[in-house]
A and B are shown apart, each in its own frame.
Chain A
C-alpha cells in the first residue's frame, strides 16, 4: 500500500498542471482513485456523505456476475467435451473454458478501457466507472467462438456510438453491452446465430450444438428435446457464455436485489410480463414455440440474463418507480413476442430491451405527467 502511495506520489507531478504529461491527467486520476478513495472533503452542502459511490456500485454488479462467469466457463468446457465425446472432470472443464474465455475478457476490457481513457483524455473529464460492468457483460453475451477482432470492433462501436457520442456514462440511451451484441448480430449474423457457434469447435465437428430456442424454432416439440427442464435450470445447455444457467443468474439477482443495486421492480415485472405473454401464447399454440410452457420460456435463452443484468441498467431503463414496473413488464412481453414471431432468429430479449430503452423516457414522461396533474388538481381544488 505504501509502495503504491510512493509510486503514485513520485509520478504525480508529471501529470499535474504544468507537468510534461498534463493532458494525461484523467488517466493518472483513474489509476489513483482506483487504488485509493480520494482525500476530497465536502466543501459545500452536506458535510457528510454516504459511503456509496459509483465504483462500489459497479463493483457489486461484478460480484453479482461472478456466478454466471464461473458457471459459463465451466459450461464451455463441458459442452466441448460433450461434443467430442470425451469425459472430463469438473476442474478440467473449468480450466478449458477459462482459457477459452479469458481472451474475450482481456480484449473486451483492453479495447473498451482504451477507448474510455482516450475519450476522457480528449475531453478532459475523469474516467467513469461504467465500463467496469459493460466490459464483463459484453463477452458474457457472446458465443464462445466469436473472433476476437469482431469482439474488438463491437466493443469500439458500443463505447463510441452507444455511449460516448451521447456524453459518456450516465448519458447513453441504449444499453452499451446490448449495443455491442446487436451490432455483431446484424453485422456478422453467421457468427452470432444458427446451430454452429454455441459450442467450441462445433463448426469443425459436425456435432449439433444448436440452442434450445434454435431447435424449437425448427419445429421440434419442447418435450422431444435432448435437454430436460432440470438441464435448463442448471444451465448445462449450449448458448452464450453467461446466459445458460438460470440458477447462477438467480444467485446474481439475489445479490443485486439484496444490495439494492438492481431494481427488483424491473426484474419482477419482466418475469411477470414474460410469463403472461407465454401463457397467452400457450392458449393459442399455433407452433412449437407458442406451445412451449410459459415457465420454460423464462428459463431458456437469454430471458433471465437480460432481465437481471441488462434490463436493470438504471441509465437506460425507466427512472420512476411506477415506470420501472411498466418498463419491465413490456420487456417481458416483447421478448416472448419477438421470440415467437421472429423467424430469422428465435431470441427476443436483446431486441426487446433495446426497444424499451428507447421507450423508457416516454414511460417516465407519462408517469410524471400524472404527478403534475395531481398537483394541478390540488391547486384548483
Chain B
C-alpha cells in the first residue's frame, strides 16, 4: 500500500540562482576525471596507467576489497594523469576525451536472472550507482536488500527538477525500473513529491510502490523517506539510487553501452543565466562556465548543492553522483558589529534575524561561517530541521565520544550525513555535524565488519 507522508519539520533555504527550465547544448568536454573520493571509504586498485587508451565503459580501477565492484571510464580517450594526494592516495584519474566517443560493446539481456543482472551491472561499472543505507556506501552485491528506494525529487537548495530532467523519458525509466525490481525480493519504493504535481514519468510507473512525501527539505532525502516508509533496524539493508541513474541502467541493457550522459543544473547566485546542461558524468565544468558567465569576485564552485556538495575549481569536474553545480560568492570579508546589526539581507532559521518575516524572499548567501565554533549552548534547534523520530544532539554527542552502544540505541543506522546537513546549517555553535556523523558511521562500519 502506498503511503502519503506529510513532514512538517525541516527548512527550505531559498537561494537566488535557480536553474531556468531550459537546456543549453555545449561542445563535449575534453577533460574528464573520475574521483575515487566520490565513493566513501573506497580503496581503489588501478588497472590503467598514464598513456593507456580507454573506451567508455573500460575499467579504470576496482575496489581493492571487493574486485567485483569496478569503475568505468565515462568516455573514450587517453588516461593523461593519475593525481595522487597525501600518502599516494589516488585522488583523480584524468582522461582526455576523443572527439567521438567509442563504447565498449556490452550485450546483456534484461530478462535474465537476478545474479546475471547483478553481474552485468558489475562488469559494466554501472553498479556503483546503487548505494545502500546504512553507511551511504556502494551496495554490496552479495546483500539482499529488504527494499530499494528511489526519491524522484530533490528538496535541497537550488536542486535540479527531476520532473524536467526526465520529461518524456517514461519508457527508458520504466525499462530501468524493470531491471531494478529484480534486484530485491522486497518492494521498490518510488517516492514522489507531495508538494507539487509530479511528472507522469513517475506517477505512471508500473510495478512499484508510489509514495507521496511532502514537506520542506530534507523531505526529498532518501534517508528521511526510508525512516517513514520502511525504517532500518540493526542488520537491515536498503538500496537506493537516483532517478537519472535508472536511465543509465536502462541504456546499458537497451544499447549495450556504459552511457553516463546526464542533465546537470548550473545554479547559484553568481551564475548569470542559471540553466540545465546535457553533459556527461565526470566532465569538466569549464565548457559550461564558458557558455554561461560567472559574476566577478571571489566565488566558490561546488559540485552538488550548498549543503552537501564538494568544493571544486573552475576546471573541476562533475562528481559521479552529482547532477548540480552551484556557484556562490565567498564570504571572506569581515563585517563590522555584524552580530548586532538588524541585517535584513541575512538568512536565519531562528527568529533572531528578520528573515522569518519574508519567507518568500530569495537570499544570496555566501560562504562565511557567520561566527565561530563553540561548545553546545542552544538546544532544540536541530529537532526543528530533522523530520525523524531521533534525538539529533544526543546522537551527535554519542558519536563525539565514540560510544557505539548509545549510537545504535539512538538510531545511527537511520541517519546519514546529508540528512543532518540542515542541523549543521542552523547550528548556533557551528558544530561540524556532517563530519561527526560520517565519522560515527565509519566507526560503526569498522566495528561491524
Give A contacts to B, CB under 8 Å. 1, 4-5, 33, 35-42, 44-57, 59-60, 126, 128-130, 167-171, 258-261, 263, 314-315, 317, 319-321, 324, 364, 368, 371-372, 374-375, 378-379
Contact = CB atoms under 8 A, between A and B. Distances in A.
A232 B371 CA distance: 41
B352 interface: yes
B435 A38 contact: no
Given A45-B432, A368-B410, A260 B379 contact: no
B410 A55 contact: no
A259 B380 CA distance: 14
Given A320-B391, A378-B233, A45 B424 contact: yes
Interface of B: 13, 15, 157, 231, 233-234, 300, 302, 306-309, 311, 326, 328, 330-340, 343, 346-353, 355, 365-372, 374-380, 383, 389-391, 393-394, 409-411, 421, 424-430, 432-435
A42 B369 contact: yes
Contacts of B13: 48
7 contacts: A37-B335, A40-B369, A41-B369, A49-B371, A50-B348, A319-B393, A372-B409
Contacts of B369: 38, 40-42, 49
A260 B352 contact: yes
A52 B348 contact: yes
A133 B366 CA distance: 30
B75 to A, nearest CB: 29
A25 B224 CA distance: 43
Nearest to A167: B375
A170 B374 contact: yes
Nearest to A37: B338
A46 B380 contact: no
A48 B367 contact: yes
Contacts of A324: 380
Contacts of B371: 37-38, 49, 52-56
A58 to B, nearest CB: 9
B421 A372 contact: no
A36 B380 contact: no
B218 to A, nearest CB: 12
B307 A47 contact: yes
A321 B389 CA distance: 12
Contact of A37 (B339, B347, B365): B339
B343 A51 contact: yes
A368 B352 contact: no
Interface centre among A38, A39, A45, A130 (most CB of B within 10 A): A45
Nearest to B311: A47
A171 B375 contact: yes
A41 B393 CA distance: 24
Nearest to A318: B379
A137 to B, nearest CB: 15
A50 B385 CA distance: 13
B234 A40 contact: no
A1 B336 contact: yes
Nearest to B367: A41
Contacts of A54: 371, 374, 377-378, 428-429
Contacts of B410: 368, 371-372
A171 B366 CA distance: 31
A156 to B, nearest CB: 21
B233 A379 contact: yes
B350 A48 contact: no
A45 B377 contact: no
Given A53-B371, A371-B410, A47 B300 contact: yes
Contact of B425 (A40, A46, A378): A46
A41 B330 contact: yes
Contacts of B435: 44-45
Sorted nearest first, the 10 A-B pairs with minimum C-beta distance are A53-B371, A170-B375, A37-B338, A51-B346, A379-B233, A36-B334, A55-B339, A319-B379, A37-B335, A48-B365
A43 B398 CA distance: 24
B424 A46 contact: yes
Contact of A57 (B308, B326, B352, B372): B352
Contact of B306 (A46, A260, A261, A368): A46
B233 A53 contact: no
Nearest to B394: A368
Nearest to A8: B334
Contact of A314 (B338, B349, B367, B379): B379
A46 B421 contact: yes
A57 B370 contact: no
B127 to A, nearest CB: 28
B340 to A, nearest CB: 6
Contacts of B372: 33, 38, 40, 53, 126
A351 to B, nearest CB: 23
Given A51-B353, A371-B410, A38 B374 contact: no
Nearest to A48: B365
Q: Name the residue among A55, A128, A167, A372 with the largest chain B CB count within 10 angstroms.
A: A55
Contacts of B350: 50, 52, 259-261
User: Which of A46, A314, A320, A371 has the most chain B CB atoms closer than 10 A to its own CB?
Assistant: A46
Nearest to A378: B231
A169 B374 CA distance: 9
A259 B375 CA distance: 21
Contacts of B326: 47
A372 B383 CA distance: 16
B222 to A, nearest CB: 18
B404 to A, nearest CB: 14
